Amino acid sequence: MHIWFSVTASSKLLVILGFIFSNSRLKLLQRTEKQNEEEKGKNKVTEQNCLRSKQMSRRGFSSTCKLQGSHGELSSADSVTVHFINRDGERLTTMAKEGESLLEVVVNQNLAIDGFGACEGTLACSTCHLIFEKDAFQKLDAISDEEMDMLDLAYGLTETSRLGCQVRIKKLMDGLTVQVPVEVSDIRSQLEVGKQSKQ
Amino acid sequence: TQTWFGRDLREVCCRVSESHVCNQYGTSSSLPEETKKILQNGPDLEDFVSGDLADKSVWAEYKGNLKRQKGERLRLPPWLKTEIPMGKNYNKLKNTLRSLNLHTVCEEARCPNIGECWGGGEYATATATIMLMGDTCTRGCRFCSVKTAKNPPPLDPEEPYNTAKAIAEWGLDYVVLTSVDRDDMPDGGAEHFAKTVSHLKERNSKIVVECLTPDFRGDLKAVEKVALSGLDVYAHNVETVPELQRKVRDPRANFEQSVRVLQHAKEVQPRVISKTSLMLGLGETHEQVLSTMKLLREAGVDCLTLGQYMQPTKRHLKVEEYVTPEKFKYWEKVGNDLGFHYTASGPLVRSSYKAGEFFLKNLVEKRKTKVI
């Protein structure tokens, strides 16, 4: 440790920069490695032949090998867990920052909910319609008139429905579970067509 | 970075050399028979280096997945790949539009044909579909990437004049005008639309004008205003089959309303030709498309275009199926058999794609048969 103190400030800076640089190169390498592995898929021959070469190049970085999250770092202090139950019943769990709207969470975390947030959160559509649990719904902020107008047009409206672009994450929402409403299914399509013609 | 690149190249060489080694020395590897065949018949390193890979534009040769399975995102098939737009004509058009503060649906909705239409070429004049009433819509449909806002900026009163001026400059004989939905205006923007058409006809009475209008929330008076403004083709897109309307379009739009708009336009102006468009690949079935086409023909719609839906951004609907060019040809035949004036059908066909060519070609042919 005493060596560190005796070295000049500028050389300390160089050492730190070098460390950061090698770390970022490692991240890039790991990401491209992952991509390459996905592309090859079931081609065992390539893997067998090149495993040796991979191991050799990996050895050089093994001492500084630290895997970091691919979605950027979220400090656990101000992020909460949110669960989305997709239309097909699949449960998607993700981390969300305090103050983000639920629409932003879906878009930023690249969740597999398609056709969500078509108007980019400007209260001009109802594609970010989400159904909350009763107790979670009551803790949400009051709904505005404009949101209510758009929500009325949504399909499958319930008493605990809100638009995701207007609901902001708060600390007390940790573990929140929301349901993405099911689309019009073919069985009900006849009724829908009938309803629409009466409008 | 050097080791990373070097390793990649080594792996490609490994794969290539392995397949060759297999052939030459008959060494057995742990590969299944199928993969061995793919390695033998597939592209070689020489193909990649020369840049000349097989043109897999026919369905039979394309081996990728065309129907979306749960959780996956389909890859773009080769017949939908287009060139990056650039060139003299493209830039000239862009500058004209920006200087006159005009918007085009080509840019806002990310049309894949933008390079082709704007570039013009030897035999075609450069053309663009101008989008009136701004670039911001009041509805958010799940297939469209045009910007949306609750209260878009007010209309530009100079727009009808500027549009007519730009189009006169381009010297076109067929032009398509379209617009965004403006539910915040009392007449939905019909007056503005009609004014643009009349300005255009004033400047050049020979030009054939097609208007791709919104549904004006079903306000038939507004439809009448536009239909009587002097246009030749009245277009309004139903977008998809009735069963998927709720899922794909904004809830304020529906199939019956759209068909009523098209019927009313013909009622008030019998000379006008009505036209509509369908997007395929959103999850509709063969029977649904067939019955929709029949419904449209019964409602008196004259022209139909069918195109492939392509997901514009990640916030929009995923493509459920990439319909093959052969299937599009089949729908074209069905449309012609049903009695549409013309059916433009193809993966990259859009409502205003080569609209002039299809229309004029058809008109000439019809005139010929009448003479006979």
A124, B150: Cβ pair inside 8 Å?
yes
pLDDT at res. B12: 52
For residue B279, report the phi and psi dihedrals to the nearest 5 degrees: -105, 130
Residue A1 to chain B, least CA–CA distance (Å): 32
> Residue B312: its chain A contacts at CB < 8 A?
none
Q: Which residues of chain B have pLDDT under 50?
A: 1-3, 5-6, 18-27, 56-57, 372
Amino acid type, A168 = R
Contact between A134 and A161 (Cβ < 8 Å) = no
Q: Which pair of structure tokens corresponds to residue B38?
A: 């793919």
Among B4, B148, B245, select the one facing A125 at the smallest CB separation.
Answer: B148
From B347, B356, B335, select the one nearest B82 (Cα to Cα).
B347
pLDDT higher than 60, residue A155: yes
Among A45, A114, A116, select the one facing B31 at the smallest CB separation.
Answer: A45
- pLDDT tens-digit readout, A71-115: 444 455 678 999 999 988 899 999 999 999 999 999 999 898 888
Q: How confident is the model at residue A162 (pLDDT cuts 50, 70, 90)?
A: very high
Residue B150 to chain A, least CA–CA distance (Å): 5
Average pLDDT value over all residues in chain A = 73
> Residue A153: its chain B contacts at CB < 8 A?
250-252
**Could you tell me the sign of the dihedral formed by the alpha carbons of B92, B93, B98, B101, in that order?**
positive
Q: In sequence order, what are the beta bridge partners of B208? A: B174
* pLDDT (average), residues A187-193: 43
Contact between A94 and A109 (Cβ < 8 Å) = yes
From B160, B264, B161, B179, select the one nearest B221 (Cα to Cα).
B264
Percent of chain A beyond pLDDT 70?
59
A186, B243: Cβ pair inside 8 Å?
yes
Among B71, B141, B254, select the one facing A118 at the smallest CB separation.
Answer: B141
pLDDT at res. B364: 75
Q: What ipTM does the predicted assembly reach? A: 0.71
Neighbours of B52 (CB within 10 A): 10
Q: Which of A47, A128, A189 to mutate to test the interface with B (most CBs of B within 10 A)?
A: A189
Q: Which pair of structure tokens corresponds to residue B255?
A: 């199939």
Strands A79-85 and A176-179: parallel
In the DSSP assignment, the letter for residue A87 is T
pLDDT at res. B65: 80
State the Rg of chain B over Cα.
24
Contact between B340 and B304 (Cβ < 8 Å) = yes
Among B3, B8, B244, select the one facing A36 at the smallest CB separation.
Answer: B8
B142, A197: Cβ pair inside 8 Å?
no
pLDDT at res. B88: 83
